[in-house]
Amino acid sequence: MSRDGVGASVTRGGGYDRVTGRQRYVADIHLEDVLHVKLVTLDCARARIRSVDASAAWRVPGVRLVTTAEDLPRPMPRFGPQFEDRPVLAVGETKYHGEPVAAVAAETRDAAEEAARLVHVDYEELPAVVTLAAALDPAAPLVQDPALRPGDPFATTNVLREHRVAWGDVDATVADLVVEHVYAFPMVTHFAIEPHAFMAAPDGDGIAVWSTIQHPYWLQRILAKLLRMPLSKVRVLAPDPGGAFGGKQHTKYEPLVAFMALRAGRPVRLVLSLEETFQAARRASASVRVRTGFRADGAFAFQDVAADYLVGAYADIADRVVSKGSYPACGPYRVPAGRVVGRGILSHTPPSTAFRGFGNPQVNWAVESNIDEGARALGIDRLEIRLRNLARRGEAFIPFDTPADGDWEQTVRTAAARIGWGTPLPPGRGRGIAIGIKSGPTTGLSYATVRLLADGSVIVYAGTSDMGQGARTVFAQIAAQELGAPLEAVTVVMGDTAVVPYDAQTSASRSSVLMGTAIQRACGQVRDQLRGMAARLHGIDEAGIVVERGTVRLPDRELPVLDVLRRGLGRLGGELIGNGEMRKEEEPGHPLGGSAAFWEFNCTAIEAEVDEGTGDITLVRHVTVSDVGRALNPLQVRMQDEGAAIQGLGHTLMEHYIFDDHGRIRNLGAIDYRIPTSMDLPLELHSEIVENGDGPGPYGAKGMSEGALLCVAPAVAAAVRDATGAVIRELPLTPERVWRALHGEPDRP
Amino acid sequence: MSDTIPIQLTVNGRQRSLRVAPHHTLLDVLRDDLDLTGAKECCLVGECGACTVIVDGRTVDSCLVLAVEVDGASVTTVEGLARDGSLSPLQQAFLDRGAAQCGYCIPGQLMSAHALLETNPHPSLDDVQEGLAGNLCRCAGYQQIVDAVLAAADGADR
Ligand code: FES
Ligand code: FES
């Protein structure tokens, strides 16, 4: 480990701009001559649009454009990362509360807002389905037109798709004890403090689009197809997002602003309000039925899991959330027979998308809670039953996937030790422990370019988005380490598809592993060129030269890299350019299209106290331990783990959307939708990491940053039950819900 | 714009005379008219603190204050914390302790923390958590932010 390189807690790349207010997020960028866009939406979820009359809107001074479905190409252009089902503007029928029917562009924000209010939409409200039960009712209206999914056997139902994984024979397996329960997970939203923002401007014979997007290259591909432009004419600028958590992965209103900019011949900007952001992205709620078979000694005989996720009106990435999220539902355990059926159920609600943990927290909450039920019934300690079944390193716990890639017992024992498992507790207190697991990326492709400039400084080009996880910092550390450059001399360029080479996506905690490796390889190419230079300069064979950490080692002496570089480049100067590529190919036949690059593994342990008079939960201690392989920047790792842990307290204790009979979200915005503040923290929060250098990434790193969120809910609920005996199988654990459980009152939906 | 109203503000020590629409908030004016984009827009209902600035020594949610209401006032934004290119001790502590992740909430956190330390130079942990309760951060577990404020306060001791 060095002062600057890998393993050091160097301060954040871009940190200076962030503490001085100079960091320019999308909404902070001013484009000359820009028009302001406001969306026109209806006051219900589902409606038949009879007509749109914009004449009053056009009369507002400063209005330059009103766009309705009529003004867009026919048939209505549709897009989506998995299914091309989402229209640029609602056509014929709105499908969820907040879906735009039209949009206005005006010289000022005031004029756009006023005109948007004056667009008169004549519509007839239609019944909306906003719950699993309603969507699955055979008499329910179809959310999507079956014509959108030709040949799909589910197209005439509200089931988007069904995913099954199974091994062993669950039905034929006998167990000494079978425990079966249904667990509910709430619909929650990302609530990044930066609302989504989009801008577009004609750019020569192409277009430039600014977005708070996590996957700029995916967006570029979608825009190029919709606009019928070559990729080279679609430039996506993606300044560092102000928090994203998955909510900004996929295309939302960029196609709309692109069409409007081209029509207006001027730049346009659309900055969503927080309320509109709530309607643009959220996590799928879920109902998960778990049937666990136990042997008398606590060994698992089988797991049988059926998870229904309530997805939105359009698929976004929700189908993948369902398949990949439900897939490891049986957990990191030895399960002789496992069966998981995950279904995405369409509804008249905002499209659900990726959210830290993907679709795993939903099933994790259910399965971990059910394991506790079994342990209690068998009289086995809840830690003990987990350790007894936990996969050991190298065990293929899912038969057709990457075997256990860590010393997971070490992680669990560390968490147990830190919470004081098994030691006496004061009255009224309880403890819970739970394990979370998530598959890392199953496929991936990252390119990186590294330029070693004539003075020894370095520019790294990486298409990852730094949305707060600190990718910029870690990439600079890797380049500094590989090339022996001081960290201050490394610049990382991101966020511009016209400048930075392709990267598939920033998701699934992949970037340190995949892009990090691409950067390492690009640095390797630069080192090879340095070796060639030194060989030429000194008339020796390349094979006898090693370049390491800023030094060129010849058979008889060592030279600083800079010395070789200067002489090698000669009077014209110049630079060395290295390219690196890291791909994780698809594996045909694998249920997810590819095995896990690594497993994200976490153990969370909670000590809690409950106020029986109010139902309030106090978290006395929250321990989160993640196996990260190697911490490239321990401070950033800690921040990610703690941030994930507290975010997990949101869906555990307080967050959930509430719908009314019209399918409207009743608690839109910050007043009625609460997320954890500095007053909601556990009295003690301990985050620890396990580092065995056993990951596939640079220096043994694994991906991390989602793990600490995965199993917060089951650990907290278990601590509440331990403290009070209250059994709650529906999140969030609001004071009212806890109080009702304690006082034998029925829960209210 | 005919119905604008003239106001005078001292922003980060600089006198500004401008005409503002009566319904525009201080946040609108800072961001759109003065190009001071450090204060951020998020909830616009006074709940998240991303738009926090200091007006005559007190923190306000600038999204809730009309610009005409602060005519004559002295306003400090995050852009006014650093002096002559060097960070204030609080900013330095935020940087050193890794308080900023995405950074979007940080201008607001800094302004609340700054005001807290002005009135209470030696805050307890509880004081800091309470003082920052109106500033949401979705990235962090708040630990590093709170640590940074306590560290800056400690530094002021020496
Ligand atoms: S934007 Fe002002 S408090 Fe949220
Ligand atoms: S650092 Fe991202 S919201 Fe606070």
Which token pair is A219?
């967006």
- How far away, in angstroms, is B105 Cα from ligand 2 center? 5
Same domain, A610 and A498: no
- How far away, in angstroms, is A670 Cα from ligand 1 center? 9
Pocket test for ligand 1, best of B28, B31, B59, B63 (most atoms within 8 A of CB): B63
What SS3 class is residue B115? helix
Separation of alpha carbons A624 and A606, rounded Å: 9
| Arithmetic mean of pLDDT, A434-443 | 97
> Which atom of ligand 2 lies nearest, measured to the CA of A468?
2
Pocket test for ligand 2, best of B78, B139, B144, B146 (most atoms within 8 A of CB): B139
Contacts of A708 (CB under 8 A, 6+ apart): A436, A602, A604, A624, A626, A640, A641, A642, A644, A645, A648, A687
Contact B61, B51 (CB under 8 A): yes
Domain count, chain A: 3
Asked if B140 lies within 8 A of A646 by C-beta distance, the reply is yes
What is the reported pLDDT for A4? 66
- How far away, in angstroms, is A187 Cα from ligand 1 center? 24
Of A192, A642, A669, the CB nearest to B140: A642
Tell me: the pLDDT tens digits for A275-314?
A: 999 999 999 999 999 999 999 999 999 999 999 999 999 9
Adjacent-strand bridge partners of A580: A448
- How far away, in angstroms, is A409 Cα from ligand 2 center? 33
| Arithmetic mean of pLDDT, B106-122 | 97
Separation of alpha carbons B61 and B47, rounded Å: 8
Same domain, A333 and A411: yes
- How far away, in angstroms, is B44 Cα from ligand 1 center? 4
Domain for residue A210, yes or no?
A: yes
DSSP state of A300: E
Same domain, A694 and A722: yes
How many helical (H) and strand (E) elements, i.e. helices and strands, does chain A have? 18, 28
Domain for residue A99, yes or no?
A: yes
What is the CATH number for A552? 3.30.365.10
Residue A732 has pLDDT above 70, yes or no: yes
Domain for residue A611, yes or no?
A: yes
What is the reported pLDDT for B156? 56
Same domain, A609 and A578: no
Same domain, A267 and A250: yes
Separation of alpha carbons B115 and A736, rounded Å: 36
Domain for residue A693, yes or no?
A: yes
What is the reported pLDDT for B79? 98
Contact status of A415 with chain B (Cβ, < 8 Å):
no
DSSP string over A425-445:
--TTEEEEEEEEEEE--SSEE
- How far away, in angstroms, is A92 Cα from ligand 1 center? 36
Residues in A closer than 8 angstroms to B11, CB to CB, are: none
- In A, minimum Cα distance to B95 occurs at A15
**Ligand 1: lining residues by beta carbon, under 6 Å:** B 41-44, 46-51, 61, 63
What is the CATH number for A76? 3.90.1170.50
> Which atom of ligand 1 lies nearest, measured to the CA of B40?
1
- Last residue of some domain: A280, A301, A321? A280
Tell me: the pLDDT tens digits for A129-159?
A: 999 999 999 999 999 999 999 999 999 999 9
Chain B closest CA to A646's CA: distance in Å? 5
Separation of alpha carbons B10 and A190, rounded Å: 37
What is the reported pLDDT for B157? 42
Which token pair is B83?
């002096």
Asked if A679 lies within 8 A of B95 by C-beta distance, the reply is no
- Last residue of some domain: A534, A550, A584? A584
Q: What percent of chain A has pLDDT over 70?
A: 99
Asked if B102 lies within 8 A of A643 by C-beta distance, the reply is no
Residue A97 has pLDDT above 80, yes or no: yes
Domain for residue A683, yes or no?
A: yes
| Arithmetic mean of pLDDT, A713-726 | 98
| Arithmetic mean of pLDDT, A665-674 | 96
Residues in B closer than 8 angstroms to A687, CB to CB, are: 141
Residue A118: pLDDT band (50, 70, 90) is very high
Separation of alpha carbons A568 and A563, rounded Å: 8
* Mean pLDDT of all residues belonging to chain B: 95
Which residue range forms the structural domain that includes residue A684? Answer: 285-441+590-742
Residue A404 has pLDDT above 80, yes or no: yes
**Ligand 2: lining residues by beta carbon, under 6 Å:** A 193, 243, 468; B 100-106, 137-140
Asked if A193 lies within 8 A of B37 by C-beta distance, the reply is no
Residue A385: pLDDT band (50, 70, 90) is very high
Helices (H), A228-291: 254-264, 274-278
Separation of alpha carbons B43 and B52, rounded Å: 12
Identify the nearest ligand to the CA of B31 by its number.
1
Q: Which of B101, B125, B128 is best to mutate for the A interface (most A CBs within 10 A)?
A: B101
Domain for residue A567, yes or no?
A: yes
Kindly report the length of chain A: 749
Ligand 2, atom 2: closest residue by C-alpha: B102
- Last residue of some domain: A243, A265, A280? A280
Residue B2 has pLDDT above 60, yes or no: no
Same domain, A292 and A375: yes
Same domain, A94 and A237: yes
- How far away, in angstroms, is B40 Cα from ligand 1 center? 8
Residue A749 has pLDDT above 80, yes or no: no
Separation of alpha carbons A383 and A719, rounded Å: 13
Residues in B closer than 8 angstroms to A685, CB to CB, are: 141, 143
Asked if A193 lies within 8 A of B146 by C-beta distance, the reply is no
What is the reported pLDDT for B155? 78
Which token pair is A490?
């490394």
A9-19 as b/e: b if 16+ CB within 10 A: ebbbbbbbebb
Helices (H), A484-612: 514-538, 561-569
Pocket test for ligand 2, best of B42, B106, B110 (most atoms within 8 A of CB): B106
Chain B closest CA to A125's CA: distance in Å? 29
Which token pair is B88?
């204030």
Domain for residue A139, yes or no?
A: no
- In B, minimum Cα distance to A645 occurs at B141
Residue A3: pLDDT band (50, 70, 90) is low
- How far away, in angstroms, is B53 Cα from ligand 2 center? 17
> Which atom of ligand 2 lies nearest, measured to the CA of B139?
2
Tell me: the pLDDT tens digits for B123-158?
A: 999 999 999 999 999 999 899 999 999 999 987 543
Tokens 């800079």 map to which residue? A562
Same domain, A213 and A290: no
Same domain, A257 and A300: no
Q: What percent of chain A has pLDDT over 90?
A: 97
Kindly report the length of chain B: 158
Contact status of A355 with chain B (Cβ, < 8 Å):
no
Strands in A73-232 per DSSP E: 78-79, 86-87, 93-94, 102-106, 120-125, 159-167, 177-185, 197-203, 206-211
Peptide bond just before A732 cis, omega within 30 deg: yes
Same domain, A436 and A450: no
Q: Chain A to chain B, count of Cβ pairs less than 8 Å apart? A: 167
Of B42, B128, B141, the CB nearest to A274: B42
| End-to-end C-alpha distance for chain B, whole angstroms | 53
Domain for residue A659, yes or no?
A: yes
| Arithmetic mean of pLDDT, A339-347 | 98
Tell me: the pLDDT tens digits for A38-84?
A: 999 999 999 999 999 999 999 999 999 999 999 999 999 999 999 99
Contact status of A249 with chain B (Cβ, < 8 Å):
no
Chain A closest CA to B116's CA: distance in Å? 15
What SS3 class is residue B68? helix
Residue A195 has pLDDT above 60, yes or no: yes
Model confidence pTM above 0.90: yes
Identify the nearest ligand to the CA of B51 by its number.
1
Same domain, A232 and A334: no
Tokens 């029917």 map to which residue? A101
Residues in B closer than 8 angstroms to A274, CB to CB, are: 42-44, 48
What SS3 class is residue A350? coil
Tokens 């001399």 map to which residue? A489
Identify the nearest ligand to the CA of B42 by its number.
1
Asked if B146 lies within 8 A of A242 by C-beta distance, the reply is no
Asked if A11 lies within 8 A of B137 by C-beta distance, the reply is no
Q: What percent of chain B has pLDDT over 90?
A: 92
Which helix or strand (DSSP H or E) is residue A183 part of?
Answer: strand A177-185
Residues in A closer than 8 angstroms to B62, CB to CB, are: none
| Arithmetic mean of pLDDT, A175-202 | 98
For chain B, domains (ranges, CATH) are: 5-78 (3.10.20.30), 89-154 (1.10.150.120)
Phi-psi region at A606: left, alpha or beta (left = phi > 0; alpha = psi -120 to 50):
beta
Same domain, A416 and A543: no
* AA identity, residue A58: W
| Arithmetic mean of pLDDT, A496-504 | 98
